[in-house]
Amino acid sequence: MAVIDNLMDLAGKAERELDANVAEVDRILHICNACRYCESFCAVFSAMTRRLDFNVADAHYMANLCHNCSACLYACQYAPPHEFGVNLPKTLSRVRRDTYMEYAFPRAFGELYRQNGLAVAMAVSLGVALFLIATILSQGSLFIDGLEADFYAIFPHNVLAVTFGAAFGWSAIALAVGVSRFWRQVSEPGHSVLVPDAIGAAAKSALTLKYLGGGHGDGCNNEDDAFTLWRRRFHHLTFYGFMLCFASTSVATLYHYLWGVEAPYPVFSLPVLLGTAGGMGLIIGPAGLFWLSMRRNDMQIDERQKTMDRGFIALLFFISLTGLALLAWRESTWMPFLLAIHLGFVMGLFLTLPYGKFAHGIFRSAALLKHAIEKRKPNPVQAGSE
């Protein structure tokens, strides 16, 4: 009963915070709409010009359009210490943090992750890893010789496929429910979203991280008014490293079920080559993003948003680190131990996917699609003034 009461208290506090954050978005964007200096910077300002007032749905929509490049903060004549106190990147980062909870399924899980994403991610991963280690120890020794990289001698293939498949399936369902709720709230009722050229434009913006160019292609402002492209580069290494690892798993699945070729696979096989390249990207990218996060100006992003971001970054980094270590020592007595640690972090990622930074990628893609559709329609503000 106490747990339920605590969750209800947290939910009530979150609602009040969201109301305050939405009110601040509305205040700031009214100032920005009057100024228009940053109108060409990014999709946020393009979307802003189509509205005169900004409700909860608009705030969530623009928060997920924002890539937090901070170009507008350093260009703004009304930024702190001006009495207007215009700080759009930080205000939108607070609403973006609220998005993870507002549309989470179930919502209580989103609230839990929102409080301390890094601690939750590490606790889940290490908890699963310790359970797997205990399972191995119950069968004998943790360090076993002579297995010759036979992972399925430790955990049967079908057990791994069902367990991790179920966890990934749950995350996919939770993400689908969350983004469907988001889309229904931010979309105009009765309008089709199947606009092929808009889908292509949104996909291009998402895959190239167009809006991490700072509005001019020179990059973000990370810690001062100097532009840098490193945030875009580290994001690309992270995303495409993840996709290479996903491709590795997909190819290995085809090997196993279609051609009857079981793991372990040779070093120069396609699954191993894809996984190794992806693993390197997922070490360099997250490490770089963490380094930039540590150096980032506190004016640019909400502190609690940082802990959520770092939770996801840490999971990707440790999945890659343990995966490459497992590849290097898969024929040693350390293999069972390394396998348990690696699978623990993979399960931690699967279970937290719908509630952290990965979910933001899905919401951002939906926001970019809405923006691409909007751009292909008449501007209602201009039409109303004629």
Q: Any idea where the domains of the chain sit in the sequence? A: 2-102, 115-374
Contact (CB, 8 A) for 98 and 18: yes
Six token digits for residue 151: 């992972």
Burial pattern 135-160, b for ≥16 Cβ within 10 A else e, equals ebeeeeeeebeebebebeebbeeeeb
Contact (CB, 8 A) for 63 and 93: yes
- How many residues can be counted in the chain? 386
Element (H, E) at 228: strand 227-228
Each residue's pLDDT expressed in tens, for the chain with a length of 386 residues: 554 555 455 556 667 777 898 999 999 999 999 999 988 889 999 999 999 899 999 999 999 999 988 889 989 999 999 999 999 999 999 898 888 788 888 877 777 666 667 788 888 899 999 999 999 998 888 888 877 788 888 999 889 999 999 999 999 999 999 999 999 988 765 555 557 788 999 999 999 999 988 877 888 888 878 888 999 999 999 999 999 999 999 999 999 888 888 888 898 999 999 999 999 999 999 999 999 888 887 777 766 677 777 888 989 999 999 999 999 999 899 999 999 999 999 999 998 888 878 888 899 999 999 999 998 888 887 655 55
Six token digits for residue 18: 């969201």
- Rounded to an integer, what distance in angstroms lies between the CA atom of residue 340 and that of residue 353? 20
List the one residue out of 26, 362, 349, 370 whose CA is nearest residue 175: 362
Q: What is the DSSP letter of 268?
A: T
Helix boundaries (H) for the chain: 2-35, 43-48, 56-65, 71-75, 88-102, 107-115, 117-138, 157-186, 196-208, 230-257, 270-295, 303-328, 335-352, 357-375, 380-385
Task: Look at the block and give the residue holding tokens 């996709």.
Answer: 243
| pTM for the model | 0.88
The CA angle 156-157-159, to the nearest 5 degrees, is 70
